[in-house]
Structure formats: C-alpha cells, structure tokens
Amino acid sequence: MPACHAGGREFESRPDRKTKAASNGSLILYNMITYPNFKINIGLNIVAKRADGFHELQTVFYPVDTLKDELEINRIEEGVRLSVLNVDNLCATEDNLCVKAFRLLQQHFDIDGVEIKLTKNIPFGAGLGGGSADAAFALKMYNELFQLQLSTNELQSLAAQLGSDTAFFVENSPVYATGRGEIMTPINLDLSDYKIEVIKPDFSISTKEAYAGVHPQQPEINLNELIQKPISEWKHCIHNDFEDTLFIKYPQLQEIKDDFYARGAVYASMSGSGSAVYGLFPKAY
C-alpha cells in the first residue's frame, strides 16, 4: 500500500453538503464526511512507569489506509446526536471519543450542536487506534465546520487530551513517538513496496490487561536507531514488549505471527497492545 502522508487529501465533501454564505462572503460548511484510517506500531518499548500511572514508551506509528471508518458530521442548532453502525456493544453517547472531542472544544469555544454518524470498520481492542483516529478526524472536521482556525500544533495538543496516540492522526504521517505516545518526531519511512496484512483474532485485549503484565526496562539500543536499519533486519532487533506476556496468555497470537513468517513476511509483529498482528510482505509476494 502507498505510504500515507500529511499532505494527502483527508476531507471529502458530499456533493449535497450544506453551506451558508457568511457576512464576509465566505462559505460556512454545515456537513462533512471523512474516512479515518488505522495505524500500526513498529516496535514498542515500555521503558518506565510514571508517577501519574502512565508508562513511558518508544514506538513508531505508521498510518495504513486499507481499512477505514466512515465519519459524517452535520451542524445542528444545539446538542449532540450520535449514531454508530457496525458495533454490537455501544458505549454511552458521552463516552464516545468523537463526542468527547466536541465537548473538549466547547470548553474553549462557543459552538453549537452536531449530529455525528459513525460507521465502524476498524475493530476495537486491536491496537490499531481506530477510536483515536475517529477522535482526531472529528477534531479536524469541527475545526473546519466551525471555522475555529486552530493550528496543527493546537489540534495535536487537544488530541493528546483524548488519548495517547490520538495526536498522531492529526498529521497522519510516520513518526517516532515517546512519552505516552504524544511526543512525536517525524521520520522518513515509506513501506509502499510492501503489502501490510493484518489479522485480528476473535478476541480483544484491553489496554489495562496488556499493561498488567509488563516489566518496564530501558532497551539497549534506542528504537529510533533500529528503525533506520534495513527492513530485512527488523525481525532480529525490533520488538513489541507486550508480546512477552500476551503471547503466553494467548498462544493464537504467536501462531499468527509465525504463520506470517512461514508465508514469507519480512517482518511481523503485534500492533500496540493487541490483539491485531500484522505482517509486511514484499509486493512481489
């Protein structure tokens, strides 16, 4: 798949989108639709437990666009209306990250209501960041719909309040991430010569469950150095620390990873805290 970069088109407007002429002659958007993508983690080192209960980590976030949610937002006079499709167990409206993003902006701006229509295709509890992507894309859409003129840095700061990896989806391009995942350094990484295959087993893993078994430690070599090595060497040096305990608890995850290598993957790993596992295959594969 081609690498996704921040300069790519992220908003798609429907032909029948509603607009209104403002007093200055510009158009006010009243309807937008966009398609949040997911991410994979390449390496994940858990290096320390912080006093605030979070963990310091090192990881690489890489955007993947082979599976996307669909997010439509309409401006309404007041309140919040939410509909979510393709989800068996719905959370309360106020717990939805797109709603939380709107409430966060309401703390800073006098903005009216929204109707949110979300179709989920990216699975929950997979380590793919689907909910975080929805929240970040929603923030960007609110910024456009309400003409808030927030900068990229301001959007990232707001997104970081919604989740550890949410800020990544604002620019949606490869980064080396530290802190909780919100401190990001852009990296030059292009996997367009590789097919990224993702398998999520029929179970999910909560972040709480994943972190319960970790033992933080400093890696011998910083991940930011290892990611510069040829991809053919990643198998021997880039590791996801969550695999150490979760592969024992869930042997199926190890089987999926082993099968990727048996089928010719140059690199395979669990993404984030799981349960999805991915493999990188040369396009000629």
CA distance 48 to 217: 6
CA distance 282 to 82: 41
- Are 111 and 142 in contact by the 8 Å Cβ rule? The answer is yes
Nearest to 35 by CA among 135, 126, 159, 134: 134
Other Cβ atoms less than 10 A from the Cβ of 138: the count is 29
Residue 94 phi/psi, 5° resolution?
A: -70, -10
Residue of 165, 200, 241, 257 with catalytic role: 165
The Cα angle at residue 279 between residues 89 and 48, in degrees rounded to 5: 70
In this structure, which amino acid lies at residue 118?
Answer: L
**Residue 134 catalytic?**
no
Nearest to 148 by CA among 182, 122, 117, 109: 109
Other Cβ atoms less than 10 A from the Cβ of 207: the count is 15
Give the residues across from 27 on adjacent strands. Answer: 21
- Are 150 and 143 in contact by the 8 Å Cβ rule? The answer is yes
The Cα angle at residue 251 between residues 43 and 235, in degrees rounded to 5: 30
78-96 burial: b if 16+ Cβ within 10 Å, else e: eebebebeeeeeeeeeeeb
Catalytic residue positions, numbered:
39, 165
